[in-house]
């Protein structure tokens, strides 16, 4: 495969020979690079046309497995294989009503900003920060992300560098879903969050731990460490290190860098992703109550 410098040289040489045969030889010899360049430019144009930085659904390509593709790359599916993307009807049954005692409420939020948008464009993968927080505290959580410079750092040449655009412009993304859940479901969609009413026997900390474990396979860092993720980077000539983000926390005179594990390959304004996320949240509640077997 030609390097970029060789490709530029080929372009210059081709421009000196205006005949059709020379142009055709150039196109054939460099078709892989040209196709990848066209594909990348198309994506960047689509990403740049969105005020929120959310890739439009037209970028997705369906596959026989039902998993979405993003620029020819099959992304991980939030739900386990074989689980249908449909709301549970267990919440309307007597068994759930007899067991469930409402406890604290939390909100699932999705955030992005200038830094994440640039990162998504660079690595040609959609990345959003998803997390859970106390009801009504999304704004405070976003302010914390700015202060922490969440996910601003990555390793280059054996040392961490920090990108300044991760300290600004964080915002709560709209969350959209075509799924209609039961009115008795403890999982309900709002404009910019998903409100989850926890069972009285489940703490917010226990829920967050279960939530992160259930979505771990969809995290950006985990994906870039898989053969699929490495293959994606090779096809698009991207260094996977830039997607392995970390957050620096000052500890006295030293700074400790912790992997930023809450960047997920999920799109908050894409029905397919958010429908699956809502079903996943319902399943977490049912599993805690021992009712998951009643929800095929």
Burial of 191 (0-12, 13-18, 19+ CB in 10 A): exposed
Tell me the domain boundaries of the chain. 1-49, 56-294
CA atoms within 13 A on the CB side of 181: 26
Region class of 261: left (phi > 0), else alpha (psi between -120 and 50), else beta: alpha
Burial of 261 (0-12, 13-18, 19+ CB in 10 A): middle
Whether the Cβ atoms of residue 132 and residue 207 lie closer than 8 Å to each other: yes
At residue 67, the pLDDT reads: 45
At residue 283, the pLDDT reads: 97
At residue 35, the pLDDT reads: 53
At residue 39, the pLDDT reads: 52
Tokens linked to 180: 């209609």
**Secondary structure class of 129 (helix, strand, coil):** strand
What is the rounded CA–CA span in Å between residue 292 and residue 286? 5
| Tokens 């709002």 belong to residue | 190
- Taking only the tens of pLDDT, the chain with its 296 residues reads 444 444 434 433 444 444 556 555 555 565 555 555 555 554 444 444 333 333 333 333 334 444 444 567 889 999 998 999 999 999 999 999 999 999 999 999 999 999 999 999 999 999 999 999 999 999 999 999 999 999 999 998 889 999 999 988 899 999 999 999 999 999 999 999 999 999 999 999 999 999 999 999 999 999 999 999 999 999 999 999 999 999 999 888 788 999 999 999 999 999 999 999 999 999 999 999 999 876 55
Helix axis angle, 204-215 to 271-288, nearest 10°: 130
142 CA to centre of own chain:
17
For the sheet with 69-70, list strands across it: 60-61, 69-70, 73-74
**Secondary structure class of 253 (helix, strand, coil):** coil
CA atoms within 13 A on the CB side of 114: 9
What is the rounded CA–CA span in Å between residue 30 and residue 177? 42
């Amino acid at each position: 495969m030609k390097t970029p410098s060789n490709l530029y040289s080929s372009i210059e040489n081709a421009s000196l020979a205006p005949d059709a045969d020379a142009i055709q030889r150039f196109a054939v010899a460099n078709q892989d690079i040209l196709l990848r360049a066209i594909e990348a430019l198309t994506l960047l144009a689509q990403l740049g046309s969105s005020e929120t930085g959310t890739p439009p659904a037209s970028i997705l390509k369906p596959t026989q497995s039902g998993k979405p593709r993003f620029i020819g790359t099959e992304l991980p599916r939030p739900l386990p294989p074989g689980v249908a993307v449909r709301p549970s009807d267990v919440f309307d049954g007597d068994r759930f009503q007899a067991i469930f005692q409402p406890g604290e409420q939390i909100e699932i939020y999705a955030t992005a900003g200038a830094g994440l948008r640039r990162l998504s464009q660079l690595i040609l993968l959609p990345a959003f920060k998803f997390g859970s927080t106390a009801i009504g505290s999304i704004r405070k959580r976003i302010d914390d992300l700015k202060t922490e410079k969440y996910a601003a750092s990555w390793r280059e040449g054996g040392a961490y560098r920090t990108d300044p655009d991760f300290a600004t412009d964080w915002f709560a993304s709209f969350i959209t879903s075509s799924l209609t859940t039961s009115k008795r479901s403890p999982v309900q969609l709002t404009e910019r969050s998903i409100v989850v009413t926890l069972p009285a026997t489940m703490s917010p900390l226990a829920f967050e731990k279960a939530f992160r474990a259930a979505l771990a396979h969809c995290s950006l860092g985990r994906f870039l460490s898989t053969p699929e993720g490495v293959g994606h980077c090779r096809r698009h000539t991207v260094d996977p290190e830039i997607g392995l983000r970390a957050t620096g926390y000052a500890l006295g005179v030293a700074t400790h860098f912790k992997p930023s594990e809450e960047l997920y390959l999920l799109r908050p304004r894409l029905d397919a992703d958010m429908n699956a996320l809502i079903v996943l949240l319902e399943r977490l509640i049912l599993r805690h109550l021992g009712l998951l077997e009643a929800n095929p």
